[in-house]
Amino acid sequence: MKKHSLLLLVLLFSLWSLPAQVLRVVDDAGLINRFNQGEKPRIINFWATWCKPCMEEMPHFVKADSMYGDKIDFVFVAFDRVKDTARVLQKISEYNIPGDHLLIKTPDMGNLINAVDSTWGGALPVTWFSSGQYKGSKQDSFEHFNDLKRFIETFLNLKE
């Protein structure tokens, strides 16, 4: 019995010490506000759990966070339905996705897409770099880490 109690305590402690991922549900205005917040530049990535290219590029963002996390805030915006929150959290944990996590709750996704960028047709994944006057986007997946690295470094060099 002592072995089971000790094992249970070890398991509980290990779960307690893991960092919890926070997924905030935001509306259109809350999302648009994220483009203009913060002192550091932001990478804002729109993705969904059902989007294969989105999931394929996630390891690149994990690596980019380890390289640029002190210079850039990473924000990930899930286009899944609010009722699928558990699946979004599972993917965030499974891929160890860094940064802030948002889930969109909007009555009209088309209006939201146009508010973000009228040239964006809504295809996923899409990534924005936002920092004061410097804004740019890549409306496709980053197939290789070096593509993401070039994207980030282009905007970081513009800011300096």
pTM of the model: 0.82
What does the buried/exposed string (b/e) look like for 63-80 if buried means 16 or more CB atoms within 10 Å of the residue's CB? Answer: ebbeebeeebbbbbbbbb
The pLDDT value given to residue 11: 36
The beta strands (E) that lie in 52-152 are given as 73-78, 100-104, 126-131, 134-138
The pLDDT value given to residue 93: 95
The pLDDT value given to residue 146: 97
Query: 18-159 in CATH: which number?
Result: 3.40.30.10
The pLDDT value given to residue 5: 46
The pLDDT value given to residue 3: 47
Domain spans in the chain, listed from the N-terminal domain onward: 18-159
The pLDDT value given to residue 58: 97
9: tokens are 């305590």
The span from the CA of 41 to the CA of 148, in Å, is 15
The pLDDT value given to residue 159: 59
Mean pLDDT split into 10-residue runs, the chain, 160 residues: 42 39 84 75 94 97 96 94 94 95 88 86 92 82 96 80
The beta strands (E) that lie in the chain are given as 23-26, 42-47, 73-78, 100-104, 126-131, 134-138
Q: CB count, 10 Å around CB of 94?
A: 11
